[in-house]
A and B are shown apart, each in its own frame.
Chain A
Amino acid sequence: MKKSSVRLFVSCWALLAVACLTTTQALNDQQQQPRAPVAQIGAATEVQPPVGKDSVKFLVIGDSGTGDRAQTETAAQMWKAHAAFPYEFAIMLGDNMYGSERPQDYVSKFERPFKPLLDNKIEFYAALGNHDDPNQRFYKNFGMGGKRFYTFEKKDAKFFVLDSNYMDQDQQKWLDNELSRTGSKWKIAYFHHPIYSSGGRHGSEVDLRSIIEPMFIKYNLNVVFAGHEHFYERLKPQKGIHYFTAGGSAKLRAGDIMQNSGMTAKGFDTEQSFMLVEIDGDVMRFQTISRRGRRVDSGEVRRTPSS
């Protein structure tokens, strides 16, 4: 009886000592190590690493500028994905900032959520959405060079960034001219309003389509990215062109993909998401990652010899 009491007493003290030591160590670690930039998110990320050695790797974000928890967590997941898939730049599909656009909004809706990306010199190239003040084009971090519509090149790929809010004659002439004189292997356009969409709220921008699609076809455009619809949709190729809608990087319109459009190859509208894309020779590989790190779609697009 006496022996067991002594044993119990010693065991308790030993356990207490171990617990104290562990806690002290954890506290020390916390104090010494910089705070991890990634928020704690439940599921493990399912990001696939890139295949090509010298491929063009980029991130696709749409409708992200809310400044709320959804944006913060999705942005954290984007940074987490970077470890496995080291994208070099990000394209923004518009609605870069919702609501007011005061200087502090640039911080809360862009600079803070994407701080790890900015700190690591990942360049952003933004398109304007209908919630964006066109004067965003003067903001250096959006990479627009002071222009509402512009192009940039990354190795084999040329990107045509349009202002779909206001497709006037100047922009149409500019686009025709830019498309006609490019010799790039990959021609990729992105802008805010999808010209093909199964969205219940908005749907396809038929008006815009009637203006720009003939140019896309004439000049063998390969891929189009758009936002506006707050979900992810990969469309069945339309007239030889591959269309993606990725407007759910903070805003989400759950259940908005109409099942009967006949255009959807893959849809995801139950959680925020973003895309990781790699252009590797004649192949473009893509994967779509959810806010919680699930890979909800992936595949590849092959460039046709004629394009």
Chain B
Amino acid sequence: MTKLLSALIALSTVFAFACNRADSAEPRALASADAQSKPATNATPVNPPIGHEPGVTPDGKAINPQGAATLEFKKHIDAYMKIHNEAESKVPALKRTDDPKEIADRETALAKMIMTLRAGAKPGDIFAPEYQPYFVKIVQDDFKLRSAADRKALVAELPKNIKVDINTVYPTTLPLETFPPALLRKLPDLPQELEYRIVGRSLILRDVKANLIVDILRDVVPTIPS
């Protein structure tokens, strides 16, 4: 029985890996959380019970572990969006205005409200631990495909050794690194209120309207020699 189970695990792991490999050859590979979530939803509960091998359902069926991890990440995003929406409802709505002070005041008020509602937030609260290995792999695989000049260009706009932290405002005097569209296509989709950004070697999640760093995943981007 144990042997049979081991064989099934091995088979399913190979199958899942092959799926991912096949996906990564596609330009739109890991693009959409939805695309990844469908097979997982059909095959397995979102959180396999503790004690079961990853990639296998309790009844021994093969699953795509990345799909399950994507779903988990999506749940964290949804939880954050609840907080964002609650914060938005508590500050004055931002309308088109010819007074820049209104824009600045609203941005600050929204950021403060979210910071308050998420007091004690820590890295990984949104970048779900289940998905973190995939973020690392996706980013690093993407960078491997880029020329040295391209890699350098992706981090050239920001000063070196810049320090950013979770639940803090993105420094307003610094530009935002352009996020490479090809890499963006490989990452799970985000609601329009959120975006991925690269800061130094970190991948951050930034709340666009609040200009707030809502999560950070450090040491994701490979070291780029100057």
A contact residues vs B (CB 8 Å cutoff): 99-103, 105-107, 130-131, 133-136, 138-141, 145-146, 164-170, 193, 201-203, 205-208, 210-211
Contacts and interface: CB of A to CB of B under 8 A. Distances in A.
Interface in B80-122: 94-101, 103-104, 107
A251 B177 CA distance: 18
A207 B97 contact: no
A203 B149 contact: yes
B97 A102 contact: no
A167 B211 CA distance: 18
B184 interface: yes
B26 interface: no
A130 B97 contact: no
Contacts of B219: none
A1 B190 CA distance: 98
A106 B185 contact: no
B173 A100 contact: yes
B184 to A, nearest CB: 6
Contact of B211 (A100, A135, A165, A206): A135
A165 B172 contact: no
Contacts of B104: 101-103
A20 B195 CA distance: 68
Contact of A169 (B100, B153, B189, B209): B189
Given A135-B107, A206-B150, A207-B182, A130 B177 contact: yes
B183 to A, nearest CB: 8
Contacts of A135: 94, 103, 107, 208-209, 211
Given A103-B100, A193-B178, A203 B192 contact: no
Contacts of A170: 192
B180 interface: yes
Contacts of B103: 135-136, 138-139
Contacts of A210: 181-182
Nearest to A164: B178
A169 B173 contact: no
Contact of B184 (A102, A141, A167): A167
Contacts of A141: 98
Chain B CB within 10 Å, residue with most, of A105, A134, A168, A169? A168
15 contacts: A100-B172, A101-B104, A101-B172, A102-B100, A133-B107, A135-B94, A135-B103, A135-B211, A138-B94, A140-B97, A164-B178, A167-B184, A169-B184, A207-B182, A207-B183
B225 interface: no
4 closest residue pairs by CB, A with B: A106-B100, A167-B181, A103-B101, A140-B98
Given A100-B173, A167-B181, A207-B182, A134 B208 contact: yes
Contacts of B209: 135
A166 B195 contact: yes
Contacts of B192: 170
A170 B209 CA distance: 17
A169 B195 contact: no
Contacts of B149: 203
Given A131-B175, A165-B176, A211 B96 contact: no
Nearest to B191: A170
Contact of B182 (A165, A201, A211): A211
A100 B96 CA distance: 20
Given A100-B172, A167-B181, A138 B97 contact: yes
Contacts of B95: 138, 146
B154 to A, nearest CB: 9
A139 B100 contact: yes
A25 B153 CA distance: 59
A164 B190 CA distance: 17
B208 A138 contact: no
Nearest to B181: A167
A17 B185 CA distance: 79
B141 interface: no
B96 A168 contact: no
Contacts of A167: 181, 184
Interface string B185-198: 10001101001000
Nearest to B172: A100
Given A133-B211, A135-B107, A135-B211, A166 B97 contact: no
A130 B175 contact: yes
B53 interface: no
Nearest to B189: A169
B35 to A, nearest CB: 11
A99 B103 CA distance: 16
